[in-house]
Amino acid sequence: MKITEVIEVSRPIDQVWSLFQDVPDLATCLPGAELTEDKGDGQYAGNVSVKLGPMTAMFEGQATVTADVAAKAGKVTGKGVDKRGGSQAQMKVDYALQEMDGGTRVTVDADVMLAGAAAQFGRTGLIQEMSKRIIGEFVECVEAKLAATTVEEAAEITAGEVKGFSLFLSSLWATVLGFFKRLFGAKDGGS
């Protein structure tokens, strides 16, 4: 499944780039993520815990992070296994920072592949809706870290836990609203 998001951060590009290069600090802004080991040379081990409706998946895995300093862009590749549920995940993420008036635009192109029980949620659109919510929380956390006045204050700022049931309900609500907007939008357009 392909996911593309464009986020805007109201901070200078060099400040945003600096945070994106501090992988352990940046990982604290990803809801449900925990970095367990820095293996060096851009290699990391960690866990990502996500509640998908009634199901909780705890993916344990590894990621490789590479950066192109001149282009202010980077790549993250990773894979993980949910040992309890038997699901597997692989991801490839490309990101690029671009200077804009009043801040920085970050474009994220992700390709997420799920197998096992978690894959059923990818077909329903729930994963895409949840990714938008998670990215929203990520942006809020990044903004707060960049606005912090001290290193200690920035270190205290982390993303909250992904609340699966409330996230599931809000995602379901967004899907229902989208359905009705399309339904009534079609009728209004034909009048």
Sheet containing 103-115, strands listed edge to edge, beginning at the edge strand earlier in sequence: 2-9, 103-115, 87-100, 73-82, 55-68, 43-52, 33-40
Confidence of residue 187 (pLDDT cuts 50, 70, 90): very low
Query: Looking at residues 17-26, what average pLDDT do you find?
Result: 92
Q: Which CATH class is domain 2-190?
A: alpha beta
Which long-range contacts does 140-144 make (Cβ < 8 Å, 24+ apart)? 141/28, 141/29, 142/9, 142/16, 142/19, 142/26, 142/29, 143/9, 143/10, 143/11
Provide the greatest CA pair distance for the chain.
Answer: 62
- Helices assigned H by DSSP within the chain: 13-21, 23-27, 119-123, 126-147, 151-156, 164-190
Phi, psi of 9 (to 5 degrees): -120, 130
CA angle 173, 177, 183 (to 5 degrees): 145
Q: Is the pLDDT of residue 36 over 90?
A: yes
C-alpha–C-alpha distance, residues 74 and 5, integer Å: 15
Kindly report the pTM of this predicted structure: 0.73
User: Which tokens go with 6?
Assistant: 């464009």
92 forms beta bridges with 77, 111
User: Which residue ranges make up each domain of the chain?
Assistant: 2-190
Per-residue pLDDT tens over the stretch 135-170 = 778 878 888 888 888 989 988 988 865 444 344 444
Per-residue pLDDT tens over the stretch 75-101 = 999 999 998 888 888 889 899 999 999
pLDDT at 122: 56
pLDDT at 114: 78
